[in-house]
Structure 1
Amino acid sequence: MPDDSSATALPPVPMQFTASQRDRAALEALARQARADLERINVPPAAWMLSAESATDASPVLDVLVAGAGMCGQTAAFALRREGLTNIRVVDRAARGEEGPWGSYARMLTLRSPKQVGGPELGVPSLSFRAWYEAQHGSEEWQALHKIGRIDWRDYLLWVRDTAGLAVDNGVRLRSVSHAEGGRLLSIELEAPGGRRETVRARQLVLALGRDGSGAPRWPDFPSLRRDDPLAAGRVFHSADAIDFAALEGQRIGVLGAGASAFDNAGCALEAGAAEVQLFARRAHLPQVNKSKAASSHGFLRGFEGLDDARKWRVYTYIFDEQVPPPWESVRRCDAHAGFTLSLGTPWLDVAPDEDGVSVTLPNGGIERFDAVIFGTGFDVDLLDRPELARYTPLVDTWACHVPPEEAQRHPEPTRFPYLGAGFELRARASGAPDAAAALSRMRLFNWGATMSHGALAGDIPGLAIGATRLAQAIARDLFVEDADRHWARLQAHDEPELAPTRWYVPPDRRERP
């Protein structure tokens, strides 16, 4: 920890809170205004899609299934509606209000983004978070707000969903994906509460499965630790786990990691009454500069996808190597407690749970004893960890196939990111079967796994609107092109006589043909 003399010179931490008071009447009035605004700009526009040729009343075909109704999935669905795509379905395995991390494993007090960022409103002012907040608390309170409360953000997302009329089937899990008709149609197995299974057919699938939706939580490997060890239950956690922090009262907790989630979990444990929390980082000092902020301008977010592979690789391997510092508010949240200790330059060599606690082996040969430990080690990107896509993952093209071997060896984690097309579609390696390749092109990855190909458009709030709009427009384009001949037939059959109310109207049988 810094010495007390330097700490006294630090600026005060602005007031932070996870949730503000709700004014239901004000929100209902704002919702009416927002719906009127949507109508004024003709959202949603008239539906234009043709039914799939193999669709029947007994066996319908969705144009798009969106798997995941968190921030990304919800905004993708809204963007699809704005493109006139109405034959869509949105599912999420969680209960209403538990989609995404905001009400579960996100343990920060406030969002890490500036309060002015937009995204879920897709440019409609009355759907913005600022409008939502000011409607309830006024413009002066908005000006005084430091950052957006985490629970406020969750509740705002639900309000946008309801106001825009975005239906979500909660409690429905994506289980598996296969294909039919030579890859022209996806067969998607879903599981509802109680284990009830259903299979739906869809022409396009948006995989908006969250931060871990293209991999899994990153569990460090230690010689004495097995994830299924019963002794680890209740003592060894990942920051993405459900943790009963109240049960940690009076205990000594070890946290591994130097990022935001590590500090946020340490802060939760301290606020719950943990006697001591010791946070360990392998670096000699914390990362100091968030390079991602320089990659969040509209120009960067819109233009990154157009870069060549070498420049894309250069940008994000640099950002990943520099790492993102924890927000200063999260650091101060921990430093405010006398029981907090930060041990820099101290990686863990082993983690061994037993009946009485957890032993952590340090590089100097010493052993620290804790009642419980938390890994704040983030998430891996590796589609091999996603059981829903098991039949396709060996075929998925990744960045490993697009960089020199020496670069792949230097940066093994970025090589596992999927190599996506311009519309977020998965691509097959050159050796993939044609029907499987066609099926993959109908699966759009809209989460953190898209970062190496598109930049931070599917997970970080600043790029969300750009990403969702790009995704929806790509789907609309591809569906139209696929049905081009049928749209041509519709064009020829179109017969709406404009001049019928005039004396110059000519009936069809009297018209001269060119």
Structure 2
Amino acid sequence: MAAPYHPGVLPAAQYPDRIDTMTELSHPDQHALDTLRLIGPAPDNWVPPRDGIDHNVAIIGGGQTGAAFAFALRRAGIGQVSVIDAAPDESQAGVWLNRARMNRLRTPKTLVGPEAGLPGLSFQAWYEARFGAASYAEIDRIPRTRWAEYLAWYRHFLDIPIRYGTRLTRIEPVGEHFRLHLEVREGASVRGVVETARKIVLSNGVAGNGGPNLPAVLKDLPPALFAHTSQAIDFAALRGKSVAVIGAAASAFDAAATALEAGAEQVHLFARRERIASVPVTRTRAYPGAYDNYFQLPDAIRWSQARRLREAGSTPPADAVERVTRFPNFHLHLGAPWTQAAVRDKRVETRVAGEPFAFDFVIAGTGYVVNPALRPELAEFAAHIRLWRDQYVPNAADSDEALGSHPYLGAGLEYLEKVEGAAPYLKHIHVYNPAAFVSFGLPVGDVPSMKRDIPAVVQRISRDLFLADLDAHEARFNDDIAADFDDSIYARSVWQREGVDVDIA
């Protein structure tokens, strides 16, 4: 569980460049405190308890979106919400201080994030309270480490409990609820635990409906000689080494830059395309009408937009490219896919475009594959999940096996059944990770998706929980209610007619 946030406990050493005076604010978090005061207390839990149910909602993943969901559900009056995270503790949870290697976030600083539309809880309010409005105006995008600090503050300030060291290993459907099979780490030991939940939110990151996309050419290499960007990498150990990076999206450039900054002797980045993708095609639909109503688009349009992005390629930010090109020992290979790799004398040897190379270490910045069947916790029912290839058949020229493996989701980002009636419980699992891309047009789970999709999921959860207990709610509607007052408070003012009735028509 996250430790309670104590207003005022903000060591100066934690913010060495913070503004020197707080005369404008009685407390650095005064705006946030006023926000919570003005919106009033969270509603009481209105969901009737059920025998044998531990959680109304289980949120899988305690990163930025897991915490945001917990707060949004609290404000919706939905109690018995549990957030779990497999990381052993808060410092190792999420990507921002672990596997993320960019200097700045890739999204604009002005996007609405986990604050749920409450300005006092926003990154801007948090940042300006510590470093001043002028400092905020100077940054064009949010520094990654500042974002991590803000998220830690958000969790503690709002007292979001997260159970670390808790891994979901299996979701077992049981009628209208689920058994969650968990591995709970306690010190050096791990014990198995089974808990129950009515709703599940998969807020579990980029691999949450699949896994890392590892090129076949690397799969037989010894683990000591290569890594995917999703893994922890000891970059300090690459000092003085020759490093290959495969891929040309942002994570590949970030990994290459981190290796160079750690003192790698040579870094070669190999891209399949003849040019680095530089056209952010999704920007053409980055306006409220398209953003808010994207789910309502016909399948053919949603498919074509996903295909358009696949064809254009994922665009690394310009500063990510400039971060590596300033190094004379960085070398970019275009139109250079790897087709072979072997190990000799503890080095990886390859031949690209007829030219031989040998490297001490290889990093795959090759993204992720979406395939629910790859996830052990989903394996029991993955075959019942409706995928895009089950729903929509494009013409041959527009076919795409990778996009076809994405789940075809409902309006509340819930799984749908491949065959109606075969797995009705699927509608109670909500997918808040990038597997929702084809259905919702964004890399769901990142900041751009929060404003639209967190409320959509919470509203669907609220609706489903309410209707599932409709008899109990109807009985509550018809409960006897004590009167606020009796006749005595108005008895003296009741008109008393004297004599005959007067016709006032």
TM-score, normalised via structure 1 length: 0.87
Deviation at 1:494, TM superposition (A): 4.4
Equivalent position of 1:92 in the other structure: 85
Aligned: 1:69 with 2:62: yes
> Does the 8 A contact of 2:348 with 2:359 survive in 1?
yes
Relative distance call for 1:420 and 1:501 in structure 2 (3 A) is farther
Q: Does residue 1:369 correspond to 2:369, yes or no?
A: no
Amino acid at match of 1:479: L
Range 395-404 or range 492-501, more displaced: 492-501
Correspondence 1:480 to 2:466: yes
2:415 corresponds to: 426
Aligned partner of 2:155 among 132, 149, 161: 161
In the other structure, the counterpart of 1:78 is: 71
Deviations 1:52-77 (A, max 9, x none): 2xx1xxx4431101010112222122
2:424 is aligned, of 433, 438, 444, to: 438
Deviation, 1:48, is 1.4
Task: Tell me if the contact between 1:427 and 1:440 (Cα under 8 Å) persists in the aligned partners.
Answer: yes
Query: What pairs up with 1:291-370 in 2 under 5 angstroms?
Result: 291-364=281-354, 366-370=355-359
Question: Which position in structure 1 is the counterpart of 2:257?
Answer: 267
Q: Tell whether the 8 Å contact from 1:30 to 1:126 is kept in structure 2 after alignment.
A: no
Moved more, 278-287 or 72-81: 72-81
Q: Please report how far the alpha carbon of residue 456 of structure 1 lies from its aligned counterpart in structure 2 after TM superposition.
A: 1.8
Instruction: Give 1:221's aligned residue.
Output: 216
CA contact (8 A) 2:247 2:270 kept: yes
1:502 is displaced (CA, Å) by 5.5
User: Shift of residue 497 of structure 1?
Assistant: 1.6
Question: Do the aligned partners of 1:301 and 1:463 also contact (CA within 8 Å) in 2?
Answer: no
Q: Would the aligned equivalents of 2:53 and 2:198 in 1 still touch at CA under 8 Å?
A: no
Question: Following the alignment from structure 1 to structure 2, what is the Cα–Cα distance between the partners of residues 471 and 297?
Answer: 21
Match of 1:48 among 41, 46, 49: 46
The amino acid of 2:64's aligned partner reads M
Per-residue CA distance 1:485-504 (angstroms, 9 max, x = gap):
21001111141423349635
The CA deviation string for residues 66-101 of structure 1, in whole angstroms up to 9 with x for no partner, is 010112222122211121112100011112033221
Segment drifting more, 324-333 vs 293-302: 293-302
Counterpart pick for 1:385 among 374, 377, 382: 374
Superposed structure 1 runs of 4+ greater than 4 Å apart: 22-28
1:206 pairs with 196, 201, 208, which one?
Answer: 201
The answer to whether the Cα contact below 8 Å between 1:31 and 1:163 also exists between their aligned partners in 2 is no
Decide whether the 8 Å contact of 2:225 with 2:360 is kept in 1: yes
* Deviation (angstroms), 1:407: 4.8
Deviation at 1:23, TM superposition (A): 5.5
For each residue in 1:412-459, what CA deviation from the matched residue of structure 2 results, as whole angstroms up to 9, or x when unmatched? 1110000111111111111662xxx22211111111011111232622
**For 1:339 and 1:92, how far apart are their aligned partners in 2?**
39
Partner Cα distance (1:439, 1:310) in 2: 28
Cα pair 2:407 2:435 within 8 Å, conserved: yes
For residue 349 of structure 1, report the CA deviation from its aligned partner.
0.8
Q: 1:109 to 1:189 in 2, by over 3 A?
A: same
* 2:27 aligned partner, one-letter code: A
1:189 to 156, 181, 187: 181
**2: distance between equivalents of 1:215 and 1:307?**
26
What is the CA-CA distance between 1:390 and the residue it aligns to? Answer: 0.8
Shift of 1:293: 2.5
- Secondary structure at the aligned position of 2:415 is classed as coil
SS in 1 for 2:92: coil
Aligned residues of 2:270 and 2:337 also touching (Cα < 8 A): yes
CA distance in 2, matches of 1:368, 1:125: 53
- Give the TM-score taking structure 2 as reference length: 0.89
Does residue 238 (structure 1) correspond to residue 228 (structure 2)? The answer is yes
2:142 counterpart (130, 148, 158): 148
State the identity as a percent.
34
In 2: Cα distance, 1:385 partner to 1:144 partner: 44
User: 1:410 maps to which residue?
Assistant: 399
Q: Of 39, 46, 56, which residue of structure 1 is paired with 2:37?
A: 39
The alignment partner of 1:270 has SS state of helix
Q: How far has the Cα of 1:295 moved from its partner?
A: 3.2
CA distance in 2, matches of 1:306, 1:494: 43
For residues 166-191 of structure 1, give each alpha carbon's deviation from its aligned partner in whole angstroms, at most 9, with x where no partner exists. 111111111111122xx211111111
Matched-pair contact (CA < 8 Å) for 2:203–2:445? no
In structure 1, stretches of 5+ residues that fail to align are 1-18, 506-514
AA at the equivalent of 1:199 = V
SS in 2 for 1:273: coil
How far apart are residue 465 of structure 1 and its match? 2.2
Which whole-Å CA distance do the structure 2 matches of 1:148 and 1:443 have between them?
A: 32
Q: Does 1:469 align with 2:455?
A: yes
Pick the aligned partner of 1:450 from 424, 436, 455: 436
- Asked if the contact 1:35–1:163 (Cα under 8 Å) also holds between the matched residues in 2, the reply is no
| Distance verdict in 2 for CA 1:113–1:284, change over 3 Å | same
SS of aligned partner of 2:40: coil
The alignment of Structure 1 onto Structure 2 pairs a total of residues equal to: 471
Q: Which region of structure 1 is more displaced relative to structure 2, 368-377 or 402-411? A: 402-411
Deviation at 1:146, TM superposition (A): 2.7
1:115 to 81, 105, 109: 109
1:292 and 1:324 in contact (8 A); partners too: no
Secondary structure of the 2:193 match is: strand
| Change in 2 beyond 3 A, CA 1:64/1:385 | same
Residue matched to 1:179: 173
Secondary structure of 1:210's aligned partner: coil
Q: Which amino acid aligns with 1:270?
A: L
Given that 1:255 and 1:277 are in contact with CA atoms closer than 8 Å, whether structure 2 keeps it comes out as: yes
**In structure 1, C-alpha distance between the alignment counterparts of 2:83 and 2:90, rounded to whole Å:** 12
Deviations for 1:118-157, whole angstroms, at most 9, x for unmatched residues? 2111111111111111111111111111321111111111
Shift of 1:345: 1.0
Summarize deviations over 1:211-257 as a string: whole Å, max 9, x none: 110110100012xx435x5xx22211111111111111111111111
Decide whether aligned partners of structure 1 residues 496 and 454 sit closer, same or farther in structure 2, where only a CA change above 3 A counts: farther
How well do the aligned residues superpose, as a CA RMSD in angstroms? 2.2
